[in-house]
Amino acid sequence: MPELPEVETIARGLETRVAGDTVESVWIGSRPQPLKSPASAIAATLEGKRIARVHRAGKHIVFDLEAQPNQGGRLARRQPRPAASLPTAQWIVHLGMTGRMVVCEPAAEIAKHTHLIAKLASGRELRFIDPRMFGKLSVHSGGFDPGGVEPLEVSEERFVALFRGRKTPIKSALLNQKLLRGVGNIYADEALFRAGIRPRRRAAAITREQLRKLHRAVREVLREAIALGGSSISDYVDADGEEGFFQLQHRVYGREAEPCLVCGTAIRRVVLAGRSSHYCPKCQK
């Protein structure tokens, strides 16, 4: 499943390509699985709206929409408005495990498992494709809040307060989207390695200083991953259809039985709440 760096990369690419464009019409397939809002509500919300901004909220791609007046029988297009303005409505896209957002020409072949096609005033199409249908499409009246705290913005003090005293393993706490939104399996493993903390350790047993170190590690890993376009594991590609490169920098994730890049000890894998966790038994305590 794409995590924060992958979703951020895709959202930035879409912002560059479609912000300021207008949705003229929407086609939605017959499969209900990808729809969190009714198909009729999605179409009615998108059609005739200008895409003012595309950004990320947690693991969601958010399209800020605004009503677009008719001018001379055609939908007018304007420059994107300031981000501080409240949108008329929002289109929320969660990519799930295999979801993709593609901007293409109308003549481009329609891929199998295409669930939505939005025709844009620029003449292009914005398509949502999801083979496994774990992604979700929904619309909101504005001010979408996925819950949790944004890890790239959370202060050190707030971060420590989120996890201090919790009885769950620290890895499970990092994956709790109600606490910290956007962090998933890959980046939790990588941040814990850099902080020298084992994934099974109870959050309550971790000192304040160790949590401060983890705060720095989480932000460092996420920023590095965004700079490299995310990690291409399985199906992930960005808005250009290109793979990311951060998987080449993984120090523990997916490296079971391989030597630690710091000390040479074999990387171990354990399962926590049904998720694989990778760590170095020497570097992490």
- Active-site hit among 2, 5, 151, 169: 2
Q: Residue 270: what are its φ and ψ, rounded to 5°? A: -130, 165
CB neighbourhood size of 123 (10 A): 10
Residue 258: active-site member: no
Q: Kindly name the residue from 124, 166, 269, 275 that is annotated as catalytic.
A: 275
Q: Is 269 a catalytic residue?
A: no
Verify whether residue 32 is a known catalytic residue.
Answer: no
54 vs 83: CA distance, rounded Å: 10
The verdict on whether 275 is a catalytic residue reads: yes
Catalytic position from the list 3, 15, 66, 190: 3
Give the active site residue among 59, 136, 181, 194.
59
Sign for the pseudo-dihedral over CA of 75, 78, 80, 82: negative
Q: Can you point out the beta strands (E) in the chain?
A: 23-28, 49-57, 60-67, 70-71, 74-75, 89-94, 100-104, 114-120, 125-129, 136-140, 268-272, 275-279
Task: Go through the chain and tell me how many residues it has.
Answer: 285
Task: State the Cα–Cα distance between residues 130 and 256, nearest whole angstrom.
Answer: 29
Residue 218 has which token pair? 């989480």
Report the catalytic residues: 2-3, 59, 275
